[in-house]
Amino acid sequence: METIELNRMSIDELRNLNSLVISVIESKKRILSAQKKRELYVGAKVRVDHDKLRDEDCFIEKINRTKCVIGVEGRFDSYNVPISMLTLKVK
């Protein structure tokens, strides 16, 4: 769809299009999150996409609905991290 076509649409049509696009984006994000959650398991070595834990050796202590409890090897620290910020380390 090009800008010219969008300019021809009414405000109500644009709002409807916007809500459809948002619902598709949200459903795709839910599917990706569910796929990522299925590959994670307790004890798995993970990489965390955050400055505070970027170069640390981390592992999963517990998997919750939307977040995981992450432990850092060699320390007693644990963090609640969103599943979307985790990547499984390849052995």
The CA distances from residue 12 to 3, 4, 6, 15, 30, in Å, are 17, 17, 12, 5, 27
Output the domain CATH number for residue 88.
Answer: 2.30.30.30
How many independent structural domains does the chain possess? 2
Look up the domain containing 55 and give its range.
Answer: 41-91
How does residue 34 score in pLDDT terms, banded at 50, 70 and 90?
Answer: confident
CB 26, CB 13: distance < 8 Å: no
My answer on whether 46 and 90 are in the same domain is: yes
Shared domain check, 62 and 47: yes
Task: Check residue 91 and give its pLDDT.
Answer: 65
Q: Is the pLDDT of residue 6 over 70?
A: yes
Answer yes or no: pTM beyond 0.95. no
pLDDT at 22 over 70: yes
Q: CA-CA distance, 76 to 31, in Å (whole number)?
A: 33
